Copies of this chain bind each other. A is one copy, B any other.
Amino acid sequence: MNMTPTVKAILDTYESDNPGVKANLARMLMHGNLGGTGKLIILPVDQGFEHGPARSFAVNPPAYDPHYHFQLAIDAGLNAYAAPLGMIEAGADTFAGQIPTILKLNSSNSWATAKDQALTGGVDDALRLGCAAIGFTIYPGSDHFFELVEEIKELRAEAQAAGLATVIWSYPRGGELSKEGETALDVAAYAAHMAAEIGAHIIKVKLPSAHIEQKEARNVYEGADWSNQADRVRHVVQSSFAGRRIVIFSGGAAKDADSVYQDARDIRDGGGFGSIIGRNSFQRPREEALAMLARLQRIYKGEE
């Protein structure tokens, strides 16, 4: 498919990046059924690591096999597939050249005693495995936030020089943030902004609620009506350099299909760039997941 003006315009906002990074952003933006639209759906599969294999895959046992996810992402015409080292290595040769991949460089797990993540891969791994980008999680608010920032600073610089894009999962938690605050609107916008400040090419946050967490921020948000999810999405995108950075949203735990569709419509209507959708796809039977992903693509294309 030829480069579209929409995608070209997005690439142009990454104005200080070298052609290698732009080419890898283009690989993701031009791939799959949404290729060329400027929208993305990415399949992330790090839940086995983060929550354990049974909690992640028992509901749909073929998903224990790493090949299942590569094939699902390919068959669904998604833009990219993201996973940690072991999952990528287990399929990177079989599926070489078939879908852009994002190597998730750090991971946590259910038993972690600190709000931190451990590095499990590097930029050299991403290159030898043919990935288009590195992925990295930060926990704004956590006591470990500064360490995580300094880790991604080094990794991003190395990746950028080698022409790889950087995707940052920005998940506020820890410190004085309440549980409800982790998905508060002001918190999500701030988390997205910090990811942009440290140089993310693609920012991944959770869809925010209408809750406002920070006392100091309340008067800024008061008076406006934040009940519409599309408006909240718009605010997060605005907070990410006024749309100069790709922001995609996750919906969290598996839920009913209609909620997933409504989320996508809100992301689209609020000017978001797409969805990163893990459990809601691979925890459904394959045919059901393919149907859902196809419908999400139609929604992002504005067809329904």
Contacts and interface: CB of A to CB of B under 8 A. Distances in A.
Interface in A78-114: 84-98, 107, 109-114
Given A16-B89, A140-B111, A197-B107, A26 B96 contact: yes
Given A16-B93, A18-B16, A198 B120 contact: yes
Interface in A185-243: 186, 189-190, 193-194, 196-200, 214, 216-217, 220-221, 235, 238-239, 241-242
B66 A244 contact: yes
A81 to B, nearest CB: 13
Contacts of A7: 97
Given A111-B141, A197-B84, A217 B54 contact: yes
A289 interface: no
Contacts of A242: 64-66
Contact of A96 (B19, B198, B216): B19
Interface stretch (A149-157, A255-263, A265-273, A274-282): A149-157
A3 interface: yes
Contacts of A196: 86, 90
A65 to B, nearest CB: 4
Contacts of A74: 2
Given A189-B53, A198-B86, A26 B98 contact: yes
A111 B144 CA distance: 12
Contacts of A93: 15-16, 18-19, 22
A3 B18 CA distance: 23
A148 to B, nearest CB: 8
Contact of A19 (B58, B129, B174, B199): B129
Given A54-B239, A64-B242, A149 B130 contact: no
Contact of A49 (B121, B124, B197): B197
Which of A66, A130, A217, A220 has its CB near the most chain B CB atoms (within 10 A)?
A: A130
30 contacts: A3-B95, A18-B18, A19-B92, A19-B129, A20-B127, A22-B93, A23-B97, A27-B97, A53-B189, A53-B190, A53-B193, A54-B186, A54-B217, A54-B235, A64-B242, A65-B244, A66-B242, A86-B197, A86-B198, A86-B245, A90-B241, A109-B190, A110-B214, A118-B150, A118-B153, A120-B199, A121-B199, A124-B157, A127-B162, A162-B162
In order of increasing CB-CB distance, the 7 nearest A-B pairs are A26-B97, A23-B130, A19-B92, A65-B242, A15-B93, A20-B130, A118-B146
